[in-house]
Amino acid sequence: MNKRPFTIHLLAILLGIQSLGGLGGGLALTCSPSGAFMHMPLSVLNGSPFPNFFIPGLILLVLLGILPGILAYAVIKQPGWPHAGYFNIYKNVHWSWTYSLYTGIMLVIWIITEIRWISYDILQTIYGLLGVLLIILTMLPSNMKYAGWK
């Protein structure tokens, strides 16, 4: 295994921050699909494929809450979990690297979609930048080497 670069720790911290935001928002939306808890009227979903916030909340909870929380650990420890790499399209690198890249891309797409359907808020700028930073940190040569890129 390669020496763990400092930038891997930064990536883990940002994944942890994303996890907290995704868990909070996802739980709020799945527990209150009407949007009442977050003071969001269902009318903001007009034009979307969703009748309420349950499915978007579930997506947020799982893909942008639970997954980044697991990845915050996995990018540092690189556990050898047998089925974790199922969706890893880069078979020569540790799955946590690939999934960190997926997370950054998903977050950017989530924010763009959210702005289109709901409207703009400063939090979307912050989370959009977080998504871009996740992509940049994942793609740093030191982090790629740590993940197994030759």
What pLDDT does 13 receive? 98
**pLDDT one-digit tens code per residue, 72-131:** 999 999 999 999 999 999 999 999 999 999 999 999 999 999 888 877 789 999 999 999
- Ranges of each domain in the chain: 6-147
What pLDDT does 25 receive? 95
pTM for the whole structure: 0.93
| Cβ atoms of 9 and 100 closer than 8 Å | no
Distance CA 136, CA 108 (A): 12
Mind giving me the DSSP string for 47-80? TSS-SSSHHHHHHHHIIIIIHHHHHHHHHHH---
